[in-house]
Every structure is written in structure tokens, then in C-alpha cells.
Amino acid sequence: MDSFVYKWTNITLNKIYIGWHKGSETDGYISSSASEKFWNDFNNPLFEWSREILFRGSMKECQILESKLLCEVDIKSENVYNNRNNLMFNLDDEVRQKLSDAAVKRSQNPDYIKKLSDASRKLWQDPEHRKLISEKNSGKIHTEETKEKIRIARSKQVITKESRIKASEKLIGRPRPDSVKEAISLARKKDPVVICPYCEKKGKGGAMHRFHFNKCKKIK
């Protein structure tokens, strides 16, 4: 299952858009709609939107289901943003280029970027969504190529003081699972014993570095 069928609903205006996408539900994708009306409304801060995942399956299955769902609604209705059933026509080079140009233009729009960010943040605030992603990735083994890509991406990350504070605040009061506690305990047991050169205190772990060595009270 590498694709999904989704439905965007403009709750404020009671209008819908149905589409399919090959990729992850959390990759920031919104829509490939060429409708200016859809994008104008989507970027309007006065309108409230919701996204529903209707089906998950192969790309072909999703294409067929999207077409079937669009056949069941009145595309010409004011309550539907779709202006065509994609399986009912063939895209020529001119239409493909227009779609490509529109996508590039959207990706450079600050309002569009912010909308993507806000939608992703709202999605991750849903406990059910986080649980679904966790269960989906449980037991998943990355290839060496994927691991290398992750390593390179993380090496370019800039962790600011503000981001550290935010991460810390989110963890305050959050109970740790027993499996995490056990992993931390095992990791700490492997820490070497160190000796503070100023007070000769012996110990291991972060506490020694927080209160001894160049922070030791015995430093004159």
C-alpha cells in the first residue's frame, strides 16, 4: 500500500475535493488540483478545513476508486472543487506543463508553505494519528541507503537554544514507557567510571559532568 485516496472538506463552505496521492500521509502533500478556486479558498485563513483518508492501497487501486467516487458526485456542482475526472481524459503536454508550473509557483508561495506547516502540525497533534504512524513503523528496518540519507539530513540540522527549550518543555511530565527506562538503565551501566581531578569524586553519567570537572565546587 503505497498510495491513498483523500477528501478535503471546506467545513466553512461545505465544499469538497477528492483526490489520490502516491506517498506518505505525512509528507506534506495537499493536492494536485489545478483549480484556482480550491487554492484561493484553501489559503484563506477564514475557512476551516479537514482531511479524511478514504482508502489506502496501490496506486492503481486509488486511481480507480478516485474516479468511481467522482462519478458519484456532481462535478459541476458548486460544492465540488474537482473540475474533471482524471481517468476520463488524457493529459496532453500543454496541460502537464500548466500543472507543473502551477505546482512550482505554489511551492514558492510563503502563504502556501505556512499552510502546509500548519496542516502538518495540526495533524501531528492528533494522538490517533501519532499512534497510527507509530504502529505503521513498528518493526520497520531501514536500508543502509536510507540510514545514510537520514544521517546526512541530521548532520545538516541546526538545533537552536529555543528548539532545545521547546523539546524539553514537551517532555516535562510525560511518563516514560518501561522499555525506555530499561534502555536508559542499560546504557548508563555501560558508562565508564570517571574521577573529578579537583575533588576526586568518582561516578558515571551526565551528573559528573554537570557538577564536577570544570564545574566542580572545589575549583579555586
> Which pLDDT tens digit goes with each residue over 103-143?
778 778 888 788 878 887 887 788 887 787 777 777 778 78
DSSP state, residue 217: T
Q: Is the pTM of this model over 0.75?
A: no
Measured from the Cβ of residue 197, the count of other Cβ atoms closer than 10 Å reads 13
Query: How far is the C-alpha of 97 from the C-alpha of 133, rounded, in Å?
Result: 34
Between CA 196 and CA 216 the distance in angstroms is: 8
Write out pLDDT tens, residues 9-67. 999 999 999 999 998 888 889 998 888 889 989 999 899 999 999 999 998 888 888 88
Sorted by where each begins, the domain ranges of the chain are 3-137, 177-220
Q: Residue 6 forms beta bridges with which residues? A: 19, 53
Dist. CA 103–CA 218, nearest whole Å: 63
What residue has cell string 540510514? Answer: 147
**Furthest-apart CA pair in the chain: how many Å?**
82
